[in-house]
Chain A
Amino acid sequence: MKLSGGDLLMRALKDEGVKFIFGYPGGAALHIYDSIFKQKACEHILVRHEQGATHAADGYSRATGKPGVALVTSGPGATNAITGLATAFMDSIPLVVISGQVQSHLIGTDSFQETDMIGISRPIVKHSFIVQNTKDIPRIVQEAFHIATTGRPGPVVIDIPKDKTDPSKLYEYKRAKEISLRSYQPQILPHPGQIKKACKNILSAERPVIYAGGGVILGNAHKELIALNKLIKVPVTNTLMGLGAYPANDKYFMGMLGMHGTYQANMAMHNADVIIAIGARFDDRITNTPSLFSPKARIIHIDVDPASISKIINADIPIVGQVKESIAALIKEIKRSKLKIDSDALDEWNSQISTWRAKHGLDHELYLKKNKSKMILPQVVVQELYHATNGNAWVTSDVGQHQMFVAQYYHFNKPRRWVNSGGLGTMGFGLPAAMGVKLAFPKDEVVCVTGEGSIQMCIQELSTCLQYNLPIKIININNEALGMVRQWQDMNYGGRHSASTYADSLPDFVKLTQSYGHVGLKVTKKSQLKKTLEKAFAMKDRLVFVDVYVDPNEHVYPMLVAPNGSMKDMWISKNTKV
């Protein structure tokens, strides 16, 4: 049977196993939308803004490990998708974003709703295609999914001029058995010689640290990581993107590292003699000043992307390969080796870390204690949330102080449960991302922890949640200010709060949520917090927006001292620098 371009597209998406398409229709995409109407394999989720479509597809992907799919129209539809593409690109999330384009003969004439999507998205996509012949649509879709999901994953754009989906022009559907591109062959297996060197270095280390990032989650290698550390028993830290890659409740886990990492994780990194970096990229929010980074450490760096290795910090032992295969090879080599790790030295190192933890570690029992603040502490909201959900929720977040508090205080024991925009730091990500997660796991608890600043950047998606019955729980940590901006202004700009406050003009979030057809609850007193959270989570079938007013003066600590600081230089409170 011959199919139109739109039908070819839908058939190709079905064959890729696509369940959801997050999108928004418009002129250039209308033929495609007609094809969507005629099929049942993929459910279309109508968002309220294209940014929401890309973030929802992104959240779906982060939670499931499958590629997310978004569909937008040309011009403003395409430009609105840009923030979501950049968000996915920075965190290496596999997305396929399909954009309608004006008809081929109008391209380049400044026609209505025309924008050069390939051009504007070029720096923030892994690859992009423009459809020039309708018959190529199935091959392009196959290649797009192949590129998006293999190697270091990332978003791929397919731009389709409207005439290429003309319903009156029909073509044969052909699907290739496998995709092979001569210009794209990601390295899978690590070099055995490098694995041997790494093994030797690890087993002769006295102060080793595993520094694991989002690559472990993206590469589905968390089991291998746990198995590796069963063998070598060394302290582990996760990046913001890597939280959940190693169980937070394990005794070797030191918490997150970096800008707002724990004291013990940052101290361990600075004083290590061997750093085993796995699927992490020595981001500037980790290393602080690169020239002062971990002066005594030999660096073993495992990554699927050779360009990530020795980009910021020189790797002594670079290992290019998929993390899963690489860790497995490392485990094999360690088991085979005659060398034994110096357990006395390691005991001493682990006890040093315990000492650091006891000295300036995070207080995970803050919620049980009386504290001076009359108001609710934002950290306590996260701790109460952790207990209210038994640590089992899928948690998305936006960007700012609340994001850091979740990273510090919600203990993620499983991979993929923590969904946040780490690289780009996109406010507005949390709610649409939670929609993607909830669609993937409708029976599970999905929580969006946000702030009154971030939530307003994609608040319109509350309407989408009603339409598709997505009973997400939104915890709005409301400090009536752009908290992280204000923290920096307090610390570096003499407390001049330039354009970071708006207490007099915030909406009534309870009424706002109600007008979208959901439940809104407000918490202002410490005594109400636990009960209100319990009440919210008891309403299984409703979206509940819990607006929690917190102490606006609270800062996120620890915080690396910058500029010119190393990882051992931290503010651990408003007036204590170590």
Chain B
Amino acid sequence: MKRIISILIENKPGALARVVGLFHQRGYNIETLNVGPVFDGSYSRMTVTTRGSEHDVEQITKQINKIIDVIKVSDLTEGDHHEYEFIMIKFKQSSKIQKILKNLNGKIHEKNKDAMVVSAWGPSSDIEVAIKAIGKVNLLEIARSGSIGLHEGTKVLKI
């Protein structure tokens, strides 16, 4: 099952590598990874998506928590949550584009006869569907932000 793990980590050199390294050391895979400083910038919020059983994810979160620079860890998939991903795509003209753009809050940044650059965002499952719909033939380049997410309601992950 896909899991979305949010991590608050000290914004220090090498801190990110400790988390990324841990996944490899413990035999787990990172599917997507997003990181950026939040609040006063002294710490960052990382969002990692991975796949694993409940036992696997419990181990992953416990092991991440042991990293000295990690302040807090939460598995968003444990409860109700919002999850989105942002993409930028460059592709040859596609007839399906209008529909895709409409469904995924899309925006056209550049359009000429050989290529078109658009951005879009939405739940990562919808993003996957959209990429498939455009089709390999038309696709020139994709950049994905990786999932980011927040708990639903008043629950927060914060220092």
A residues whose Cβ falls under 8 Å from a Cβ of B: 118-119, 122-123, 126-128, 130, 132, 147, 181-184, 305-307, 310-311
**B69 contact from A130, A183, A306, A311, Cβ within 8 A:** A183
Cα–Cα distance between A226 and B146 once the two chains are bound (Å): 53
Cα–Cα distance between A132 and B70 once the two chains are bound (Å): 20
Assess whether A123 is in contact with B21, with CB atoms less than 8 Å apart: yes
The smallest C-beta distance from B55 to any residue of chain A, in angstroms, reads 8
Given contacts A183-B68, A305-B66, contact A122 B21 (CB under 8 A): yes
Q: Which B residues touch A126, using CB under 8 A?
A: 68
With both beta carbons as reference points, the residue of chain B lying nearest to A156 in the complex is identified as: B68
**Count of chain B residues near A, Cβ 8 A:** 20
Assess whether A130 is in contact with B13, with CB atoms less than 8 Å apart: yes
Assess whether A182 is in contact with B71, with CB atoms less than 8 Å apart: yes
Assess whether B58 is in contact with A310, with CB atoms less than 8 Å apart: yes
Assess whether A119 is in contact with B17, with CB atoms less than 8 Å apart: yes
Q: Which A residues touch B18, using CB under 8 A?
A: 122
B14 at the interface (CB under 8 A from A): yes
- If over half of A's interface residues share one DSSP class (helix, strand or loop), that class is named, otherwise mixed; here it is mixed
The smallest C-beta distance from A20 to any residue of chain B, in angstroms, reads 26
Q: Which A residues touch B25, using CB under 8 A?
A: 123
Q: Which A residues touch B69, using CB under 8 A?
A: 127, 183
Q: Which A residues touch B55, using CB under 8 A?
A: 310
Q: Which B residues touch A118, using CB under 8 A?
A: 14
The smallest C-beta distance from A377 to any residue of chain B, in angstroms, reads 41
With both beta carbons as reference points, the residue of chain A lying nearest to B25 in the complex is identified as: A123
B2 at the interface (CB under 8 A from A): no
The smallest C-beta distance from B70 to any residue of chain A, in angstroms, reads 6
Cα–Cα distance between A128 and B69 once the two chains are bound (Å): 10
Q: Which A residues touch B65, using CB under 8 A?
A: 306-307
The smallest C-beta distance from A85 to any residue of chain B, in angstroms, reads 15
Q: Which B residues touch A130, using CB under 8 A?
A: 13-14
Cα–Cα distance between A190 and B9 once the two chains are bound (Å): 26
The smallest C-beta distance from B121 to any residue of chain A, in angstroms, reads 31
Assess whether B21 is in contact with A307, with CB atoms less than 8 Å apart: no
**A127 contact from B9, B17, B68, B159, Cβ within 8 A:** B68
Assess whether B59 is in contact with A307, with CB atoms less than 8 Å apart: yes
- Give 11 A-B pairs besides A122-B21, A183-B9 with Cβ atoms closer than 8 angstroms: A118-B14, A122-B14, A122-B17, A122-B18, A127-B69, A182-B159, A183-B10, A183-B69, A305-B66, A306-B65, A311-B59
B62 at the interface (CB under 8 A from A): yes
Q: Which A residues touch B59, using CB under 8 A?
A: 307, 311
Assess whether A307 is in contact with B68, with CB atoms less than 8 Å apart: no
Q: Which A residues touch B68, using CB under 8 A?
A: 126-127, 147, 181, 183-184
B63 at the interface (CB under 8 A from A): yes
With both beta carbons as reference points, the residue of chain A lying nearest to B66 in the complex is identified as: A307
